[in-house]
A and B are shown apart, each in its own frame.
Chain A
Amino acid sequence: MKHVDAYRDPVLAKTLRAAIAEEATGRRYALMEFCGGHTHAICRYGLEDLLPPTVTMIHGPGCPVCVLPIGRLDMAIELALRPGVILATYGDMLRVPGSNGNSLLKAKAAGADIRMVYSTQAALDLTEKHPDRQVVFFAIGFETTTPPTAVALAHAKAKGLRNFTVFCNHVLTPPAIDAIMATDGTDGGIRIDGVVGPGHVSTVIGTGAYEEAADKHRRPIVISGFEPIDVLESVLRLVRQINRGEARVENGFSRAVRRDGNAKALALIDQVFGLRDSFEWRGLGAIPHSALQLTDAYADFDAERRFGLVHRTVPDHKACECGDILRGVKRPSDCKVFGNACTPDNPLGSCMVSPEGACAAFYLYGRFRDVAATA
Protein backbone atom coordinates (compact mmCIF):
# COMPACT_ATOMS: atom_id res chain seq x y z
CA MET A 1 0.00 0.00 0.00
CA LYS A 2 1.43 3.34 -1.04
CA HIS A 3 2.54 5.64 1.81
CA VAL A 4 2.32 2.68 4.19
CA ASP A 5 4.55 -0.24 3.19
CA ALA A 6 7.67 1.87 2.78
CA TYR A 7 7.38 2.90 6.43
CA ARG A 8 7.26 -0.71 7.60
CA ASP A 9 10.59 -1.66 6.03
CA PRO A 10 12.45 -4.03 8.38
CA VAL A 11 15.87 -3.03 7.03
CA LEU A 12 15.22 0.63 7.80
CA ALA A 13 13.92 -0.40 11.22
CA LYS A 14 17.19 -2.22 11.97
CA THR A 15 19.22 0.80 10.87
CA LEU A 16 17.19 3.12 13.07
CA ARG A 17 17.39 0.67 15.96
CA ALA A 18 21.18 0.58 15.69
CA ALA A 19 21.40 4.38 15.47
CA ILE A 20 19.20 4.83 18.55
CA ALA A 21 21.24 2.27 20.51
CA GLU A 22 24.47 4.01 19.51
CA GLU A 23 23.31 7.49 20.43
CA ALA A 24 21.06 6.89 23.45
CA THR A 25 23.79 6.34 25.98
CA GLY A 26 25.06 7.87 29.20
CA ARG A 27 21.66 8.87 30.59
CA ARG A 28 18.02 7.86 30.63
CA TYR A 29 15.53 9.13 28.06
CA ALA A 30 11.90 9.25 29.21
CA LEU A 31 9.90 9.93 26.06
CA MET A 32 6.14 10.30 25.98
CA GLU A 33 4.10 9.45 22.95
CA PHE A 34 1.11 11.69 23.52
CA CYS A 35 -1.23 10.11 21.00
CA GLY A 36 -3.05 6.84 21.48
CA GLY A 37 -2.47 6.08 17.81
CA HIS A 38 1.25 5.98 18.57
CA THR A 39 0.67 3.85 21.67
CA HIS A 40 -1.21 1.44 19.44
CA ALA A 41 1.61 1.40 16.85
CA ILE A 42 4.29 0.92 19.54
CA CYS A 43 2.43 -2.05 21.02
CA ARG A 44 1.37 -3.52 17.68
CA TYR A 45 4.88 -3.49 16.19
CA GLY A 46 6.70 -4.30 19.43
CA LEU A 47 8.75 -1.12 19.09
CA GLU A 48 9.65 -0.98 22.79
CA ASP A 49 11.58 -4.21 22.27
CA LEU A 50 13.70 -2.48 19.61
CA LEU A 51 14.74 0.33 21.94
CA PRO A 52 17.79 0.20 24.21
CA PRO A 53 17.20 0.02 27.99
CA THR A 54 18.10 3.71 28.27
CA VAL A 55 14.97 4.74 26.35
CA THR A 56 11.57 4.39 28.00
CA MET A 57 8.34 5.09 26.16
CA ILE A 58 5.69 6.55 28.42
CA HIS A 59 2.17 6.29 27.11
CA GLY A 60 0.33 9.60 27.13
CA PRO A 61 -3.29 10.68 27.40
CA GLY A 62 -4.06 11.19 23.70
CA CYS A 63 -6.94 8.77 23.49
CA PRO A 64 -10.24 10.58 23.04
CA VAL A 65 -12.48 8.21 24.94
CA CYS A 66 -9.88 7.69 27.67
CA VAL A 67 -9.62 11.30 28.83
CA LEU A 68 -13.35 12.01 28.94
CA PRO A 69 -14.30 12.04 32.62
CA ILE A 70 -17.10 9.79 33.83
CA GLY A 71 -19.25 12.81 34.71
CA ARG A 72 -19.43 13.88 31.07
CA LEU A 73 -20.31 10.34 29.94
CA ASP A 74 -23.05 10.24 32.60
CA MET A 75 -24.50 13.41 31.07
CA ALA A 76 -24.64 11.69 27.66
CA ILE A 77 -26.31 8.62 29.14
CA GLU A 78 -28.85 10.79 30.96
CA LEU A 79 -29.55 12.65 27.73
CA ALA A 80 -29.94 9.46 25.70
CA LEU A 81 -32.57 8.18 28.15
CA ARG A 82 -34.78 11.24 27.67
CA PRO A 83 -37.91 10.65 25.56
CA GLY A 84 -37.68 11.97 22.02
CA VAL A 85 -33.89 12.06 21.93
CA ILE A 86 -31.65 10.17 19.51
CA LEU A 87 -28.02 10.21 20.65
CA ALA A 88 -25.56 9.77 17.77
CA THR A 89 -22.09 8.68 18.89
CA TYR A 90 -18.83 7.33 17.57
CA GLY A 91 -18.68 3.61 18.31
CA ASP A 92 -15.70 3.90 20.67
CA MET A 93 -17.88 5.53 23.31
CA LEU A 94 -20.49 2.78 23.53
CA ARG A 95 -18.71 0.49 25.98
CA VAL A 96 -16.95 3.09 28.12
CA PRO A 97 -18.03 2.52 31.72
CA GLY A 98 -20.00 5.33 33.34
CA SER A 99 -20.93 5.47 36.99
CA ASN A 100 -22.81 2.59 38.68
CA GLY A 101 -21.68 0.14 36.00
CA ASN A 102 -23.70 1.98 33.37
CA SER A 103 -22.66 2.60 29.75
CA LEU A 104 -24.25 3.83 26.54
CA LEU A 105 -24.57 0.22 25.42
CA LYS A 106 -26.49 -0.66 28.58
CA ALA A 107 -28.65 2.44 28.17
CA LYS A 108 -29.39 1.31 24.61
CA ALA A 109 -30.40 -2.12 25.91
CA ALA A 110 -32.66 -0.35 28.40
CA GLY A 111 -34.47 1.40 25.55
CA ALA A 112 -32.48 4.56 24.86
CA ASP A 113 -32.22 5.40 21.16
CA ILE A 114 -28.47 5.46 20.62
CA ARG A 115 -27.05 5.27 17.10
CA MET A 116 -23.45 4.53 16.24
CA VAL A 117 -22.21 6.81 13.47
CA TYR A 118 -18.96 6.92 11.52
CA SER A 119 -19.18 10.60 10.65
CA THR A 120 -21.02 13.76 11.61
CA GLN A 121 -22.78 13.58 8.25
CA ALA A 122 -24.48 10.37 9.39
CA ALA A 123 -25.74 12.24 12.46
CA LEU A 124 -27.12 15.00 10.24
CA ASP A 125 -28.83 12.38 8.05
CA LEU A 126 -30.74 11.21 11.14
CA THR A 127 -32.35 14.65 11.49
CA GLU A 128 -33.98 14.23 8.09
CA LYS A 129 -35.12 10.69 8.76
CA HIS A 130 -36.54 11.64 12.15
CA PRO A 131 -37.87 15.22 11.93
CA ASP A 132 -40.01 14.67 15.04
CA ARG A 133 -37.03 13.69 17.20
CA GLN A 134 -34.14 15.62 18.71
CA VAL A 135 -30.84 14.31 17.34
CA VAL A 136 -27.88 15.00 19.63
CA PHE A 137 -24.36 14.35 18.38
CA PHE A 138 -22.03 13.27 21.20
CA ALA A 139 -18.92 15.14 20.08
CA ILE A 140 -15.67 13.89 21.57
CA GLY A 141 -12.03 13.96 20.62
CA PHE A 142 -9.07 16.19 19.89
CA GLU A 143 -8.45 18.54 16.99
CA THR A 144 -8.93 15.71 14.49
CA THR A 145 -12.62 15.17 15.23
CA THR A 146 -13.35 18.86 15.90
CA PRO A 147 -13.40 20.11 12.27
CA PRO A 148 -15.96 17.48 11.20
CA THR A 149 -18.19 18.59 14.10
CA ALA A 150 -17.73 22.19 12.97
CA VAL A 151 -18.73 21.26 9.41
CA ALA A 152 -21.93 19.65 10.73
CA LEU A 153 -22.76 22.68 12.90
CA ALA A 154 -22.18 25.14 10.07
CA HIS A 155 -24.41 23.01 7.86
CA ALA A 156 -27.14 22.76 10.53
CA LYS A 157 -27.10 26.52 11.04
CA ALA A 158 -27.23 27.22 7.31
CA LYS A 159 -30.22 24.92 6.95
CA GLY A 160 -31.86 26.22 10.15
CA LEU A 161 -32.24 22.71 11.57
CA ARG A 162 -34.36 22.71 14.73
CA ASN A 163 -33.73 19.12 15.75
CA PHE A 164 -29.94 18.96 15.80
CA THR A 165 -27.65 19.77 18.70
CA VAL A 166 -24.11 18.88 19.71
CA PHE A 167 -22.99 17.77 23.16
CA CYS A 168 -19.51 19.22 22.87
CA ASN A 169 -16.58 17.56 24.60
CA HIS A 170 -13.81 18.52 22.21
CA VAL A 171 -10.44 18.98 23.91
CA LEU A 172 -7.19 20.61 22.87
CA THR A 173 -3.80 18.96 22.60
CA PRO A 174 -1.32 21.79 23.32
CA PRO A 175 -2.69 22.65 26.81
CA ALA A 176 -2.53 18.97 27.78
CA ILE A 177 1.06 18.65 26.53
CA ASP A 178 1.89 21.82 28.46
CA ALA A 179 0.32 20.38 31.63
CA ILE A 180 2.28 17.14 31.27
CA MET A 181 5.58 18.90 30.54
CA ALA A 182 5.06 21.19 33.53
CA THR A 183 5.50 18.19 35.83
CA ASP A 184 8.99 17.84 37.27
CA GLY A 185 8.46 14.39 38.73
CA THR A 186 8.07 15.52 42.34
CA ASP A 187 4.36 16.31 42.31
CA GLY A 188 2.83 12.93 41.54
CA GLY A 189 3.58 13.23 37.83
CA ILE A 190 6.52 11.99 35.80
CA ARG A 191 9.26 14.04 34.20
CA ILE A 192 9.28 13.71 30.43
CA ASP A 193 12.48 14.43 28.49
CA GLY A 194 10.79 14.74 25.10
CA VAL A 195 7.48 14.20 23.37
CA VAL A 196 6.54 12.21 20.27
CA GLY A 197 3.84 14.59 19.07
CA PRO A 198 0.56 13.55 17.48
CA GLY A 199 0.51 13.24 13.69
CA HIS A 200 -3.13 13.54 12.75
CA VAL A 201 -3.89 16.30 15.26
CA SER A 202 -0.99 18.19 13.73
CA THR A 203 -2.42 17.95 10.22
CA VAL A 204 -5.06 20.33 11.61
CA ILE A 205 -3.18 22.55 14.09
CA GLY A 206 0.30 22.44 12.49
CA THR A 207 3.69 22.08 14.15
CA GLY A 208 3.69 25.75 15.15
CA ALA A 209 1.10 25.01 17.83
CA TYR A 210 3.73 23.24 19.95
CA GLU A 211 6.50 25.82 19.80
CA GLU A 212 5.36 27.63 22.94
CA ALA A 213 5.40 24.43 25.04
CA ALA A 214 8.82 23.36 23.71
CA ASP A 215 10.27 26.82 24.43
CA LYS A 216 8.67 27.18 27.84
CA HIS A 217 9.74 23.77 29.13
CA ARG A 218 13.00 23.57 27.19
CA ARG A 219 12.25 20.09 25.87
CA PRO A 220 11.93 18.78 22.30
CA ILE A 221 8.74 17.71 20.53
CA VAL A 222 8.88 15.67 17.32
CA ILE A 223 5.65 15.28 15.35
CA SER A 224 5.44 11.71 14.08
CA GLY A 225 3.57 9.58 11.60
CA PHE A 226 2.03 6.31 12.69
CA GLU A 227 4.03 3.64 10.94
CA PRO A 228 6.88 1.90 12.80
CA ILE A 229 9.63 3.67 10.82
CA ASP A 230 7.99 7.03 11.58
CA VAL A 231 7.97 6.34 15.31
CA LEU A 232 11.55 4.99 15.44
CA GLU A 233 12.83 7.96 13.46
CA SER A 234 11.05 10.36 15.81
CA VAL A 235 12.64 8.64 18.80
CA LEU A 236 16.05 9.05 17.16
CA ARG A 237 15.40 12.74 16.49
CA LEU A 238 14.38 13.25 20.13
CA VAL A 239 17.49 11.45 21.42
CA ARG A 240 19.68 13.63 19.20
CA GLN A 241 18.03 16.84 20.35
CA ILE A 242 18.31 15.81 24.00
CA ASN A 243 21.99 14.95 23.55
CA ARG A 244 22.63 18.39 22.04
CA GLY A 245 20.59 20.18 24.68
CA GLU A 246 18.09 21.36 22.07
CA ALA A 247 14.36 21.92 22.53
CA ARG A 248 12.90 22.36 19.08
CA VAL A 249 9.68 21.27 17.45
CA GLU A 250 10.55 19.00 14.52
CA ASN A 251 8.24 17.73 11.85
CA GLY A 252 8.78 14.00 11.36
CA PHE A 253 5.51 13.66 9.43
CA SER A 254 6.17 16.25 6.75
CA ARG A 255 4.32 14.26 4.10
CA ALA A 256 1.04 15.11 5.86
CA VAL A 257 1.74 17.95 8.31
CA ARG A 258 2.53 21.61 7.61
CA ARG A 259 3.76 24.22 10.05
CA ASP A 260 0.49 26.15 9.95
CA GLY A 261 -1.83 23.15 9.76
CA ASN A 262 -5.06 23.12 7.81
CA ALA A 263 -6.17 26.76 7.48
CA LYS A 264 -9.65 25.88 6.27
CA ALA A 265 -10.31 23.56 9.22
CA LEU A 266 -8.89 26.06 11.73
CA ALA A 267 -11.06 28.88 10.35
CA LEU A 268 -14.14 26.72 10.70
CA ILE A 269 -13.21 25.78 14.28
CA ASP A 270 -12.80 29.49 15.11
CA GLN A 271 -16.17 30.28 13.61
CA VAL A 272 -18.07 27.66 15.60
CA PHE A 273 -16.18 27.14 18.85
CA GLY A 274 -14.71 29.19 21.67
CA LEU A 275 -12.51 28.22 24.62
CA ARG A 276 -13.96 26.91 27.86
CA ASP A 277 -12.45 28.49 30.97
CA SER A 278 -11.56 25.05 32.25
CA PHE A 279 -12.32 21.41 31.50
CA GLU A 280 -11.86 18.26 33.53
CA TRP A 281 -9.68 15.54 32.01
CA ARG A 282 -9.61 12.03 33.37
CA GLY A 283 -6.25 11.57 35.01
CA LEU A 284 -5.04 15.12 34.45
CA GLY A 285 -7.77 16.94 36.37
CA ALA A 286 -9.02 20.41 35.42
CA ILE A 287 -6.86 22.16 32.81
CA PRO A 288 -7.56 25.82 31.99
CA HIS A 289 -8.49 26.70 28.41
CA SER A 290 -8.13 23.07 27.33
CA ALA A 291 -11.52 22.44 25.72
CA LEU A 292 -14.03 23.98 23.35
CA GLN A 293 -17.64 25.03 23.63
CA LEU A 294 -20.09 26.37 21.07
CA THR A 295 -20.03 30.13 20.60
CA ASP A 296 -23.13 32.20 21.35
CA ALA A 297 -23.87 32.34 17.62
CA TYR A 298 -24.37 28.57 17.78
CA ALA A 299 -26.20 28.54 21.16
CA ASP A 300 -29.30 27.01 19.55
CA PHE A 301 -27.23 23.97 18.62
CA ASP A 302 -25.66 23.48 22.04
CA ALA A 303 -27.13 20.41 23.75
CA GLU A 304 -25.89 21.55 27.16
CA ARG A 305 -27.96 24.72 26.85
CA ARG A 306 -31.00 23.21 25.16
CA PHE A 307 -31.33 20.33 27.60
CA GLY A 308 -29.98 22.02 30.75
CA LEU A 309 -27.24 19.44 31.30
CA VAL A 310 -25.09 19.88 34.39
CA HIS A 311 -21.68 18.28 34.90
CA ARG A 312 -20.89 16.49 38.13
CA THR A 313 -17.43 15.18 38.94
CA VAL A 314 -17.57 11.41 39.46
CA PRO A 315 -14.65 9.37 40.82
CA ASP A 316 -13.24 6.52 38.71
CA HIS A 317 -13.81 2.88 39.69
CA LYS A 318 -11.67 2.43 42.78
CA ALA A 319 -9.67 -0.48 41.39
CA CYS A 320 -9.01 1.30 38.07
CA GLU A 321 -5.62 2.95 37.54
CA CYS A 322 -6.60 4.78 34.31
CA GLY A 323 -5.86 8.15 35.89
CA ASP A 324 -2.24 7.29 36.74
CA ILE A 325 -1.82 5.47 33.42
CA LEU A 326 -3.01 8.53 31.48
CA ARG A 327 -0.45 10.67 33.33
CA GLY A 328 2.27 8.15 32.49
CA VAL A 329 2.93 7.46 36.17
CA LYS A 330 1.87 3.82 35.91
CA ARG A 331 1.85 1.25 33.15
CA PRO A 332 -1.16 -0.95 32.37
CA SER A 333 0.57 -3.99 33.87
CA ASP A 334 0.88 -2.10 37.19
CA CYS A 335 -2.91 -2.20 37.57
CA LYS A 336 -4.27 -5.02 39.72
CA VAL A 337 -7.35 -5.57 37.57
CA PHE A 338 -5.52 -5.42 34.20
CA GLY A 339 -6.29 -8.50 32.12
CA ASN A 340 -8.35 -10.21 34.80
CA ALA A 341 -11.33 -8.19 36.07
CA CYS A 342 -10.73 -5.58 33.34
CA THR A 343 -10.55 -6.76 29.71
CA PRO A 344 -11.68 -5.27 26.37
CA ASP A 345 -14.82 -7.41 26.61
CA ASN A 346 -15.59 -6.16 30.10
CA PRO A 347 -13.70 -2.92 30.68
CA LEU A 348 -13.67 -1.30 34.12
CA GLY A 349 -11.90 1.80 32.87
CA SER A 350 -11.81 3.80 29.68
CA CYS A 351 -8.19 2.90 28.81
CA MET A 352 -9.30 -0.70 28.16
CA VAL A 353 -12.02 0.24 25.66
CA SER A 354 -10.61 1.91 22.58
CA PRO A 355 -7.72 0.33 20.64
CA GLU A 356 -5.83 3.58 21.27
CA GLY A 357 -6.16 3.16 25.02
CA ALA A 358 -2.90 2.06 26.62
CA CYS A 359 -4.54 -0.85 28.46
CA ALA A 360 -6.35 -2.14 25.38
CA ALA A 361 -3.18 -1.84 23.26
CA PHE A 362 -1.20 -3.70 25.93
CA TYR A 363 -3.90 -6.33 26.21
CA LEU A 364 -4.07 -6.86 22.44
CA TYR A 365 -0.36 -6.93 21.71
CA GLY A 366 1.86 -6.75 24.72
CA ARG A 367 0.46 -8.59 27.70
CA PHE A 368 2.75 -11.60 27.34
CA ARG A 369 5.92 -9.59 26.84
CA ASP A 370 6.96 -9.97 30.45
CA VAL A 371 6.12 -13.69 30.57
CA ALA A 372 9.13 -15.97 30.09
CA ALA A 373 8.87 -18.17 27.01
CA THR A 374 8.32 -21.81 27.97
CA ALA A 375 8.14 -23.53 24.59
Chain B
Amino acid sequence: MCLALPAKVLGITGETGTVELGGVEIDISLALLDDVQPGDYVVVHVGFALSKIDEAEARATLAALHAARQAAAPPPPQHRNGGEEAAG
Protein backbone atom coordinates (compact mmCIF):
# COMPACT_ATOMS: atom_id res chain seq x y z
CA MET B 1 0.00 0.00 0.00
CA CYS B 2 2.99 2.29 0.45
CA LEU B 3 4.13 1.58 -3.08
CA ALA B 4 3.44 4.74 -5.08
CA LEU B 5 4.82 6.61 -8.08
CA PRO B 6 4.65 10.29 -8.94
CA ALA B 7 1.66 10.97 -11.16
CA LYS B 8 1.28 13.83 -13.63
CA VAL B 9 -1.87 15.92 -13.25
CA LEU B 10 -3.63 16.20 -16.61
CA GLY B 11 -6.82 17.97 -15.60
CA ILE B 12 -8.78 19.12 -12.57
CA THR B 13 -12.54 19.19 -11.95
CA GLY B 14 -13.49 20.39 -8.49
CA GLU B 15 -11.56 18.21 -6.02
CA THR B 16 -11.00 15.48 -8.58
CA GLY B 17 -7.81 15.30 -10.58
CA THR B 18 -7.20 13.19 -13.67
CA VAL B 19 -3.63 11.93 -13.51
CA GLU B 20 -1.37 9.81 -15.62
CA LEU B 21 0.14 7.07 -13.52
CA GLY B 22 2.50 4.68 -15.26
CA GLY B 23 0.80 5.29 -18.63
CA VAL B 24 -2.74 4.90 -17.28
CA GLU B 25 -5.19 7.75 -16.74
CA ILE B 26 -7.08 7.60 -13.47
CA ASP B 27 -9.16 9.96 -11.36
CA ILE B 28 -7.87 10.76 -7.89
CA SER B 29 -8.88 13.09 -5.08
CA LEU B 30 -7.07 16.38 -4.62
CA ALA B 31 -8.94 17.07 -1.36
CA LEU B 32 -5.72 16.96 0.68
CA LEU B 33 -3.73 19.46 -1.38
CA ASP B 34 -4.09 23.12 -2.28
CA ASP B 35 -2.72 24.88 -5.35
CA VAL B 36 -2.37 21.92 -7.68
CA GLN B 37 -2.22 22.82 -11.36
CA PRO B 38 -2.29 20.68 -14.51
CA GLY B 39 1.29 19.68 -15.29
CA ASP B 40 2.23 19.26 -11.62
CA TYR B 41 3.44 15.89 -10.36
CA VAL B 42 1.85 14.52 -7.20
CA VAL B 43 2.50 11.53 -4.94
CA VAL B 44 -0.68 9.44 -5.06
CA HIS B 45 -1.66 7.06 -2.33
CA VAL B 46 -4.87 4.99 -2.14
CA GLY B 47 -6.59 7.37 -4.53
CA PHE B 48 -5.49 10.63 -2.88
CA ALA B 49 -2.69 13.03 -3.77
CA LEU B 50 -0.64 13.45 -0.58
CA SER B 51 2.11 15.75 -1.77
CA LYS B 52 3.16 17.85 -4.73
CA ILE B 53 6.60 17.18 -6.18
CA ASP B 54 8.76 20.27 -5.78
CA GLU B 55 10.53 20.64 -9.14
CA ALA B 56 13.24 22.93 -7.78
CA GLU B 57 14.07 20.48 -4.97
CA ALA B 58 14.13 17.60 -7.47
CA ARG B 59 16.57 19.49 -9.69
CA ALA B 60 18.75 20.43 -6.71
CA THR B 61 18.86 16.82 -5.47
CA LEU B 62 19.87 15.49 -8.87
CA ALA B 63 22.42 18.25 -9.40
CA ALA B 64 24.05 17.43 -6.06
CA LEU B 65 24.12 13.71 -6.85
CA HIS B 66 25.68 14.30 -10.26
CA ALA B 67 28.18 16.77 -8.85
CA ALA B 68 29.28 14.12 -6.34
CA ARG B 69 29.55 11.61 -9.16
CA GLN B 70 31.70 13.91 -11.26
CA ALA B 71 33.91 14.66 -8.30
CA ALA B 72 34.41 10.91 -7.85
CA ALA B 73 35.00 10.05 -11.53
CA PRO B 74 34.39 11.55 -14.97
CA PRO B 75 31.11 10.40 -16.54
CA PRO B 76 31.47 7.46 -18.96
CA PRO B 77 30.48 8.25 -22.56
CA GLN B 78 27.66 5.66 -22.76
CA HIS B 79 25.75 7.22 -19.87
CA ARG B 80 22.22 7.91 -21.12
CA ASN B 81 20.49 9.95 -18.46
CA GLY B 82 22.85 12.89 -18.25
CA GLY B 83 22.35 15.45 -15.53
CA GLU B 84 18.71 16.15 -16.22
CA GLU B 85 15.64 14.02 -16.10
CA ALA B 86 13.98 12.78 -19.24
CA ALA B 87 11.10 14.97 -20.34
CA GLY B 88 7.94 13.74 -18.74
A: which residues have CB within 8 A of B? 1-6, 9, 11-12, 15-16, 18-19, 35-37, 40, 62-65, 90, 92, 118-122, 141-142, 144-145, 147-148, 151, 198, 200-201, 203-204, 226, 229, 233, 254-257, 262, 264-265, 268, 354-356
Contacts and interface: CB of A to CB of B under 8 A. Distances in A.
Nearest to B66: A12
A3 B41 contact: yes
A3 B4 contact: no
11 contacts: A5-B81, A5-B85, A19-B68, A65-B1, A119-B28, A142-B2, A147-B50, A148-B32, A151-B31, A254-B57, A264-B33
Given A11-B75, A15-B68, A141-B1, A148 B88 contact: no
Nearest to B23: A1
A255 B58 contact: yes
Given A3-B58, A255-B55, 16 more contacts: A1-B22, A3-B85, A3-B88, A4-B6, A12-B66, A15-B65, A16-B65, A118-B46, A118-B47, A147-B32, A148-B29, A226-B3, A226-B4, A255-B58, A262-B51, A356-B3
A354 to B, nearest CB: 7
Given A12-B66, A254-B61, A255-B58, A147 B3 contact: no
Interface string B24-42: 0000110111100000010
A3 B3 contact: no
A233 B67 CA distance: 13
B8 A200 contact: no
A6 B75 contact: no
Nearest to B45: A144
Given A1-B5, A92-B1, A264-B32, A120 B85 contact: no
Interface of B: 1-6, 8, 22, 28-29, 31-34, 41, 43, 45-48, 50-55, 57-58, 60-62, 65-66, 68-69, 72-73, 75-76, 79, 81, 84-88
Contacts of B43: 200, 203, 256
The 4 closest A-B pairs by CB, nearest first: A2-B88, A119-B47, A203-B51, A37-B2
B2 A35 contact: yes
B1 A147 contact: no
A126 to B, nearest CB: 14
A355 B45 contact: no
A66 B85 CA distance: 35
Contact of B2 (A122, A144, A148): A144
B32 A268 contact: yes
A6 B6 contact: no
Contacts of A40: 3
Given A9-B81, A37-B3, A255-B58, A145 B33 contact: no
A15 B32 contact: no
B62 A265 contact: no
B32 A229 contact: no
A357 B39 CA distance: 34
A32 B56 CA distance: 29
A244 to B, nearest CB: 17
B88 A1 contact: yes
A6 B85 CA distance: 6
Contacts of A144: 1-2, 45-46, 50
B78 to A, nearest CB: 9
Given A5-B85, A5-B86, A198 B2 contact: yes
A257 B51 CA distance: 7
Contacts of B88: 1-3
A19 B72 contact: yes
A148 B69 CA distance: 40
B29 A151 contact: yes
